[in-house]
Chains A and B, each alone.
Chain A
């Protein structure tokens, strides 16, 4: 049906429109069902034809190359532009849909406020930070918080935790789960909430966390290829955590162009999973040093191209002995910085009242500084 030159054009179109292709095929199918001419129908079912039509629309020379008469081509174009069979979504509807999705609280109220409720569902959020600052802790906290029952303002959902670093420790998840259960049982006031508490126990929390451990980037890619099969079986799944994306990809340092390509594909797949299945995707990233002239800067790893994949980026860092979380990229929120702490119960607000005690008197023998309320008794 096509000549050689058109095929090359189509090849050029595909990488750009890879996300559109599924919807385009659906669109083409729907379109063909509504069309009257049987020849137009069969032509439209070929996805190549649809793209080709779009590019050559203005040129007006579709019919001769595509093997279709001018009348048929015009009809197809008319059907496409009238949006026949395709529901156009207005911005108001989108807003209402977004407000229906709750966010996943982080139990640090200041951070939740800055994020407008918490980590949003339907988007990709990235957590960057130096080692030991609390990225895995926040991921574990979100894995517990997504399961908070709806009567308490949570989502009552399940979570798929993809661990690439070996940082997932069940012991710690048990600690966080126990603290969350205690917190909610203190809040339970009416009968409905008390009933919900019977299904919100440490055991049920553990049973709703699905763990996958990937040893290298190929296994990570394989897991994400299999995600569309995993998700429909679990309609309650609301959170996907990948801790971390950087670790396996940093080991692929031989072929940087391949790494960039793979990361791009990965990013698109994550965005598709977030929007199509209504889940919050949270990824973790490392920090790396970038030299700008003579200045060394700490920037998130994996490059600028990966930076386009997440819609929200949280940066966790140390400042003296305080832990700070900053929103550095977000389409809907202002850049803000809040203080948090990691206690034995998990990710929490920094306790303002305890601050004076945080600076321990420095004696000659005592040189280490930070174990205040972080100490286990």
Chain B
């Protein structure tokens, strides 16, 4: 640590070196009396030292929200969103997944979480004007093997999903070349993967999306019920790693989570009012995510031509910039698409989409989507 780069008096620098303080961080996490004891400096000198260390630690000056909105500071919050490929879902998410935070997608098995993860791995490769981030994706599987056949099917059906993009552009993109697969069988390998492989790929600019499918699997299998303290620590470690990646490289991170049953108590003050399942891993994990989405399977089905699909609902449980709302979603050959009934919606659109959903009847006939 080169203390000379700080503008400090020589006696302070020599005292610091005598005390074997190795970095600015070490200086900052010690309290003033501790520093005085360690270095033998007087109070004003210690304050000067702390001030210099703090200035060195601060990565950037405060900027105004106006500058942020105008995009004058790309690093802090670009306002970029990763589109999902379906305009209905993009409208629900006000553009898509935020590029600077951790998004959680929870749902029961068979709800379609992996499908959405795959769809995002493809949509990230489009250029920014088409809702992508012009880079690949890193997909970390922790339980099931990667559904490679489904990915190939999605790739071949991209032109029908993305009718807004010129086919020549779609043809030019080498989708499968830009999706990096990793398998993490336990927590240690997940941490290694995130800290080394993911960081390297992100730094090289080859990927701009990290999908962890799923977070819950590792935590639920490795810990006994009594080990919750250790489990929480590991949760926090993984969370701090993904947050660090997300903010360092302005990358959306999608963590897929499972659900657990809850028994309703008379006053459930800890969770938002919803049905009898809630995302797994508890409050400790819930505090760490920026955006929480839930995907639920409904009883209804929709049909379109020769395909039929069970209806799902994608719900925004909480997000700093989104209202609590939901959209119905169907899974087709080409991917997930939001479902809006064109007969009812033009009439009821002013009243909000949830009124339209109340009137949903089964089965639903789709017009043009």
B62 touches A210 (CB 8 A): yes
Q: How far is the CB of B332 from chain A (nearest CB, A)?
A: 20
In the assembled complex, B304 has its CB within 8 A of some CB on chain A: no
**B64 pairs with A206, CB closer than 8 A:** yes
**Are A230 and B323 within 8 A (Cβ)?**
no
| A377 located at the interface, meaning its Cβ lies under 8 Å from any Cβ of chain B in the complex | yes
Chain A CB within 8 A of B18 CB: no
A211 touches B64 (CB 8 A): yes
- Chain B: minimal CB distance from A178 (Å): 12
A34 contacts B by Cβ under 8 Å: no
Residue B236 contacts which of A174, A253, A265, A374 (CB distance < 8 angstroms)?
Answer: A253
User: CB of B164 within 8 A of chain A?
Assistant: no
Q: What residues of A have a CB within 8 angstroms of the CB of B191 in the complex?
A: none
Q: CB-CB < 8 A to A367: which residues of B?
A: 274-275, 296
Complex interface: chain A residues within 8 A of B13 (CB): none
B17 within 8 A of partner (CB):
no
Complex Cα distance, B239 from A321, in Å, reads 29
CA distance A275 to B266 in the complex (A): 42
Residues of chain A lying within 8 A (CB to CB) of residue B101: 166-167
In the complex formed, the residue of B with least CB distance to A301 is B287
Q: Is the CB of B28 within 8 A of A222?
A: yes
Cβ–Cβ contact B77 & A170, under 8 A: yes
A side interface size, CB within 8 A: 84
User: A130 — nearest CB in chain B belongs to which residue?
Assistant: B270
Is chain A's interface secondary structure helix, strand, loop, or mixed overall? Answer: mixed
Q: Are A174 and B247 in contact (CB under 8 A)?
A: no
Closest to B244 in A: A215
Bound: A372/B352 CA distance, A: 9
Alpha-carbon gap, A103 to B30, bound state (A): 35
Q: Which of B58, B324, B353 contacts A226 (CB 8 A)?
A: B58
Q: Judge whether A174 and B76 touch: CB under 8 Å.
A: no
Which residue from A169, A215, A225 sits with its C-beta under 8 Å from B320?
A169
A218: B residues at CB distance < 8 A: 25, 28-29, 57
The answer to whether A364 and B283 touch across the interface, beta carbons within 8 angstroms, is: no
Contact of A366 with B54 in the complex, beta carbons under 8 Å: no
Residues of B within 8 A of A210 (CB): 62-65
Q: How far is the CB of B184 from chain A (nearest CB, A)?
A: 21
Q: Which chain A positions have C-beta within 8 A of B240?
A: 216, 251
Q: If A172-B321, A258-B29, A287-B283 touch, does A160 touch B298 (CB 8 Å cutoff)?
A: no
Q: Is the Cβ of B65 less than 8 Å from the Cβ of A211?
A: yes
**Contact present for A208 and B360 (CB under 8 Å):** no
Please state if B66 and A206 are interface contacts (CB–CB under 8 Å): yes
CB <8 Å contact, B290 and A262: no
Q: Are A222 and B287 in contact (CB under 8 A)?
A: no
B192, CB-defined interface residue at 8 Å: no
Contact with B along A132-155 (1 / 0, CB 8 A): 110011000000000000000000
Within 8 Å of chain A (Cβ to Cβ): is B33? yes
**Contact mask for chain A residues 341-370; partner B; CB cutoff 8 A; 1 contact, 0 none:** 010100000000000000011011111111
CA A61 – CA B37 in complex, angstroms?
27
Q: Is the CB of A374 within 8 A of B33?
A: no
A77 within 8 A of B: no
**Cβ of A375: which chain B residues have Cβ within 8 Å of it?**
323-325, 352-354
Contact indicator B315/A211 (Cβ below 8 Å): no
Q: In the assembly, what is the distance between CA of A154 and CA of B41, in Å?
A: 45
- Select from chain A the residue with minimum beta-carbon distance to B316: A371
Does A130 lie within 8 Å of B271, measured CB to CB?
yes
Q: B254 → chain A, closest Cβ, in Å?
A: 15
Partner of A131, one of B25, B76, B289, B349: B289
Contact B287 A131 (CB under 8 A): yes
Contact check, A365 vs B62: say whether CB atoms are below 8 A apart. Answer: no
> In the complex, what's the smallest C-beta–C-beta distance from B140 to chain A, in angstroms?
20
Q: Are B58 and A219 in contact (CB under 8 A)?
A: yes
Q: How large is the interface on B (under 10, 10 to 19, 20 to 34, 35 or more residues)?
A: 35 or more
B286 & A130 in contact (Cβ 8 Å cutoff)? yes
Q: Is the CB–CB distance between B64 and A365 below 8 Å?
A: no
Does B221 make an interface contact (CB < 8 A)? no
Chain B, Cβ-Cβ closest to A208: B64
Contacts of B323 in A (CB 8 A): 342, 344, 371, 374-376
B272 close to A370 (CB less than 8 A): yes
Please report the C-alpha to C-alpha distance between residue A317 and residue B283 in the assembled complex, in whole angstroms. 14
- Taking CB atoms, residues of chain B closer than 8 Å to A223 are 54, 58
Q: Which of A168, A209, A363 contacts B64 (CB 8 A)?
A: A209
**Neighbouring A residues of B268 by C-beta, 8 Å:** 318
Whether the pair A371, B287 counts as a contact (CB closer than 8 A) is no
Which residue of the partner chain A has the closest CB to B98?
A: A169
CA–CA, A261 to B54, complex, Å? 18
Name A251-300 residues within 8 Å CB distance of B: 251, 253, 258, 261-262, 265, 286-289, 298
Q: Which of A10-18, A108-116, A119-127, A189-197 contacts B (4 or more CB under 8 A)?
A: A10-18
Interface status of B154 (Cβ within 8 A of chain A): no
Query: In the bound complex, how far is the Cα of B288 from the Cα of A251, in angstroms?
Result: 10
User: Are the C-beta atoms of A219 and B57 separated by less than 8 Å?
Assistant: yes
Q: Known contacts being A136-B320, A288-B283, is A207 close to B65, with CB within 8 Å?
A: yes
Query: Which chain A residues lie closer than 8 Å to B248 at the CB level?
Result: 215
Partner of B247, one of A130, A213, A319, A363: A213
Measured between alpha carbons, how far is A133 from B354 in the docked complex, in Å?
A: 21
In the assembled complex, the Cα of A307 lies from the Cα of B76 at a distance in Å of 31
State the Cβ distance, A256 to closest chain B Cβ, in Å: 11
Query: Which residue of B43, B269, B296, B358 contacts A317 across the interface (Cβ within 8 Å)?
Result: B269
Complex contact B350–A207 (CB within 8 A): no
Residues on B with C-beta less than 8 A from A242 are none
A99 within 8 A of B: no
Q: For the complex, give the distance between the alpha carbons of A172 and B290 in Å.
A: 14
B62 touches A207 (CB 8 A): no
CB contact under 8 A between A366 and B358, given known A15-B33, A251-B240, A262-B29: yes
Asked whether A225 lies within 8 Å of B54 as measured between CB atoms, the reply is yes
One of B273, B284, B311, B353 near A320 (C-beta < 8 A): B273
Across the two chains, which residue of chain A brings its CB closest to B58?
A: A222
CA distance A188 to B205 in the complex (A): 51
Contact with A along B282-302 (1 / 0, CB 8 A): 111011111010001011100
Q: Report the bound CA distance from A169 to B80 in whole Å.
A: 11
CA distance A18 to B32 in the complex (A): 9
Q: Is B119 an interface residue (CB 8 A)?
A: no
- Residues of B334-369 at the interface with A, using a CB-CB cut-off of 8 Å, are 349-354, 357-358, 360, 362
User: Can you pick out 23 interface pairs between chain A and chain B where the beta carbons lie within 8 Å of each other?
Assistant: A15-B31, A47-B43, A130-B270, A133-B272, A161-B65, A166-B102, A166-B247, A169-B77, A171-B94, A206-B64, A210-B63, A211-B65, A218-B29, A226-B55, A247-B288, A265-B31, A317-B270, A318-B271, A321-B273, A360-B354, A365-B300, A371-B354, A376-B325
Give 7 new A-B contacts, CB below 8 A, not counting A213-B76, A365-B300.
Answer: A21-B43, A211-B62, A215-B247, A253-B233, A319-B269, A360-B358, A375-B354
